[in-house]
Each structure stands twice: as C-alpha cells, then as structure tokens.
Amino acid sequence: MALLKLCILTSEMAPYAKTGGLADVVGAMVREFSRDAHEVRVFMPLYASVLAANPSLQPVAEVQQRRLFIASTHYEFSLKTGRLPGTELPIHFVDCAAMFDRPTLYTTDADEHRRFLLFTRAVIESCKSLGFAPDIFHCHDWHTAFLPLYLKTVYSGEALFARSRSVLTIHNIGYQGIVPAAAVADMELGAAANRLDAADLKRGVINSLKHGIQFADAVTTVSPTYAQEICAAPLGMGLEEALRARASGVVGILNGVDYQEWDPQRDPHISAHYGPDNFAGKGANKQRLMVTSGLWVTDSTPLIGMITRLAEQKGIDLLFDVMPRLLEQRDCALTVLGSGDARYVTFFEGLVRRFPGRAAFRAGFDEPLAHLIEAGSDMFLMPSHYEPCGLNQMYSLRYGTIPIVHRTGGLADSVQHFVPETGAGTGCVFNDFDAPAVAWALNTTLDWFAERGMWRRLMQNAMAQDFSWGRQIAIYEALFRRIAAGGSGP
C-alpha cells in the first residue's frame, strides 16, 4: 500500500514538552506512524524549556530568518531539527524567540493566539520551503485549528498542496481558543476574512477550534463516547451545532497507551518490577510510595492515588465533603500529585493537615512520582466531570491499580464496572456526577479490597487489558487514506 506523507502540528509532545495527555498521545502516535514507514514530519514550537534541554538541535538551511506578517508586525522565524529519541523521525521546531521564549508553554499573555497563529503559518511556509507536500496535515486542538482554513483560502492556489487534506483531532473541546473579533486583523486572511464565522464575529468573538471543525476534511476525537457526547449540549460546550453540521460527523478513536513508558514490567522510573503473573513487586512500590509521600499507614491499608491537572473538569469539587468523611470513617490513605487551580491546592493541603500520615499531596509536575503513584497505589481515582479519553485509568489498569471513574468519555470506553457475582469487570464506574455517587464508588471499592480473593481477580482482569496503539493507529491510517483519496470521513 502506498505510504502516506504526514505533517503533524502539535503544541506539545513528549518527551520535549508536556503539560498533559496531548503530549503523550502525539508522542506515541508519531512513533507508530513512523514505524509503518510513512514519511512523517512533526512540527512544534521551540519553547524556551525545549531549547534549554536540547541545545544541539540543528538549523534547517532552507528555513532561516523567514519573515511572517502577523498583526501588522514582522516576526522572524527559523526552523531547527532533532530526531525523536530512539528513532530517525525528524522533529522540526519553529524558532521564534519573540513568541516562544517565555517561562511556560502556554501563557495568559494578550498575544497567546498570535503565538499559535505564527506557529501554524510557519509550518505551512516551512513545508513550502522544504518542498514537502503532505497528503495529510494532522492538526491537534485549537492551537493549530486554523490550518484547514488557511489551506482552503490563502494557500488554495499553491500547487504543492493541491492534493493535501487536513484532519483535526480534538483532545479537549473545553479549550477552544476564543479571541475578540478584533483579532481578525492578526490573521492576514485578506479577502478570505469573509470565511470566518459571521455569527461569532457579530457576537464579537472568533473561535479557533470552530474553524477547524468547519474547514477540516475530517474531525476526530479521542474516544467513541466523547465523540457522541460533544455532538450535544452540555459537553459540546457550544460547538455541538458546528459538529452536527458536518456531513461526515466526528470520528471517535480511543487513544492508546505507550507500554514502553507505562508498564510495571519495564517502567524505568520504578525499581521493583512486576507483572500479571507476579504481583510481589507492587508491595515494594507501595512501601516506597508511602515513604516518599510521608504516609504512616500499614501495608494492608488501601492506598488511593490521584495524578491530575487541578482543573474543574477533573471533578475534584465532588471530593470536598466526601474525602474528609471517607478518611474519618474508613481505614484508607490518599496520595495526590497535581498542579493547577489554587482552590484545589488549598483543599488538598487542608486534608494533609487534618489527616497527617494518611493524606499526602505533592503540588507540581513530577514524572517519576507519577509512575510511582501508578505502581504503588491500590486504586486510582478519576471523578472527572468529562474526560475526552483520559490516560491514567488505562495506565492504572496495566499497573493493577484499580480505577474508580465517572462513566463519561474515554473512561466509559476503557473501564468496565466489576460485578462480584460473575467476577467480570476491571474497575468501579459510577454513573451520576455527584458527591453521593463518588462516595458510593469509593466505599464499594474499599469493600472489594477487603475481600482478598475478589481483589486479586479484579487486579488480574485489569492487568489483562490491552490498550496498545497498534489497533488505533490502523484506524487513523484507514481514515487518512480515505481522506487523501478524496473521501470525507467515515
């Protein structure tokens, strides 16, 4: 079968820059694509942190000190290249210090949308200079969602891209890149400005993600259930009509797991390895986690882990009353790693003060600790209000760390509620997004834990699950081929 030429645009990718699941997903995805020998070029911004950690990136001769006009200002960008560790895959970094030399990947600066407009247009211009004619431009999230519009307007006469098509993958519809309508002047669309969403302009806004939905040749999202959920209110978050207006709909493809990174049999971040045939190492990880976290409970006390962005989406509000009551009433312990909103930091810090030795909280981003929490906890809590796919529940299954999840999005697609009578199921799934439901789920899972035989069965079921990327990549490939051949989605 003919190989595909893929141009992948992303605002973050592991191992270079990560704030959440997008980085893991794109990193694993491009590895899989390149394994199938497709011609893959990945583009991402050269953030200050990436430059500091990768000083030997090579300049690309064809793309040096190029000028782009954005918001009546000339910006200069160049391209630097490295190879994805362990592969020959080229990763191109858009170097524009005026935009990307900032302390964090994302900012609340007034020009945030311009940073990613520059990135998107720099990628198209770079492809031109490199003579690279992708079959598919694969865009991820709002940051790169204007590419389909540019391709169909400003660059429509470009012979190099005559056969190029675009695919937008939505990793989280809660982030749409909404800017004031005045930003139209930043876009340098010329006459094509009349293709911007007129109703939104009238309301005084431009919605980046919405234009991706309207102009991409295919739209995908990261689980089948989320694909359905976002086509209706409230989870479509205002974009449900735009999604429903697409004749070819939105395709839900569950993310996979990179088991090179996330498997207790070989995880480089843990010292005691274990697998489905030998759980012994899990106990050693629990010991280390308790010491690291400052927990003083016994080995037999069930330990609940959480690793999460501290954002409203993640359902932490549900725990405000539930968690203190649980820690008061039941023999259990909690360890949490997260960064984000101050009110959740305050909540978890309060728990630690109130339950010293039984509740632990680490504020910040800590990759090794994330692996240790997966390996050392008995159960893993994800009470998300919505969850496009979610990765930690799938990691948890492989680590025999029983997920407790709200039945939504990818959580619903990857965890089956355990039924003690039949012994089938892989975790605890609660239906209603409210405090009684999460309290029920926590208490139920603690009851299961107390029954050693039952718990062993549950761990075995969980560890037998396989969410490797292979199958999922085949679905993306089939979609890309259909789109490249002139089809339109499924």
Question: Measured on CA atoms in the order 322, 328, 329, 332, is the torsion positive or negative?
Answer: positive
CB of 304 to ligand ADP, least distance (A): 16
Region near ligand ADP per CB under 6 A, out of 285-293, 318-326, 344-352, 387-395? 387-395
Looking at residues 311 to 370 of the shown chain, list those that interact with ligand ADP (rule: CB under 6 A).
337-339, 365-367, 370
Region near ligand ADP per CB under 6 A, out of 42-50, 133-141, 389-397, 454-462? 389-397
Pick from 250, 434, 446: nearest CA to 331:
446
CB of 285 to ligand ADP, least distance (A): 16
- Using rule CB under 6 A, residue 20 touches ligand ADP: yes
CA pair distance 429, 421, nearest whole angstrom: 16
Alpha helices in 276-428 (DSSP H): 280-293, 319-329, 342-354, 367-376, 392-398, 409-414
Question: Closest CB to ligand ADP among 23 and 323?
Answer: 23
CB of 244 to ligand ADP, least distance (A): 24
CB of 485 to ligand ADP, least distance (A): 31
Among positions 11, 223, 392, 445, the unique one binding ligand ADP when judged by CB under 6 A: 392
Question: Closest CB to ligand ADP among 320 and 365?
Answer: 365
Find the farthest-apart pair of alpha carbons in the chain and give their distance in angstroms, rounded. Answer: 69
Pick from 257, 216, 221: nearest CA to 32:
257
- Using rule CB under 6 A, residue 21 touches ligand ADP: yes
Beta strands at 90-95 and 73-83: parallel, antiparallel or unpaired = antiparallel
Question: Closest CB to ligand ADP among 6 and 370?
Answer: 370
Pick from 89, 150, 155: nearest CA to 128:
155
CB of 217 to ligand ADP, least distance (A): 25
Q: Please identify which residue in the block is written with the tokens 């239906």.
A: 431
- Using rule CB under 6 A, residue 11 touches ligand ADP: no
Task: State residue 338 phi and psi, 5-degree precision.
Answer: -170, 160
Q: Give the angle 8-1-169 at the CA atoms, nearest 5°.
A: 25
Q: Please identify which residue in the block is written with the tokens 């796919």.
A: 389
Question: Closest CB to ligand ADP among 307 and 352?
Answer: 307
CB of 140 to ligand ADP, least distance (A): 12
Q: Label residue 387 exposed, middle or buried (CB < 10 Å: 0-12, 13-18, 19+).
A: buried
Beta strands in 327-461 (DSSP E): 333-340, 359-363, 379-382, 402-406, 428-430
User: Would you mind telling me the total number of residues written for the chain in this entry?
Assistant: 490
Looking at residues 157 to 216 of the shown chain, list those that interact with ligand ADP (rule: CB under 6 A).
none
Q: Checking phi first, is residue 131 left (phi over 0); if not, alpha (psi -120 to 50) or beta?
A: left
Number of residues engaging ligand ADP in binding (CB under 6 A): 18
CA pair distance 457, 394, nearest whole angstrom: 17
Binding track over 269-308 against ligand ADP, x by CB under 6 A: --------------------------------------xx
CB of 181 to ligand ADP, least distance (A): 29
CB of 338 to ligand ADP, least distance (A): 5
CA pair distance 300, 450, nearest whole angstrom: 9
CB of 487 to ligand ADP, least distance (A): 29
Region near ligand ADP per CB under 6 A, out of 2-10, 116-124, 211-219, 390-398? 390-398
> Where along the sequence are the contacts to ligand ADP (CB under 6 A)?
20-22, 24, 307-309, 337-339, 365-367, 370, 389-392
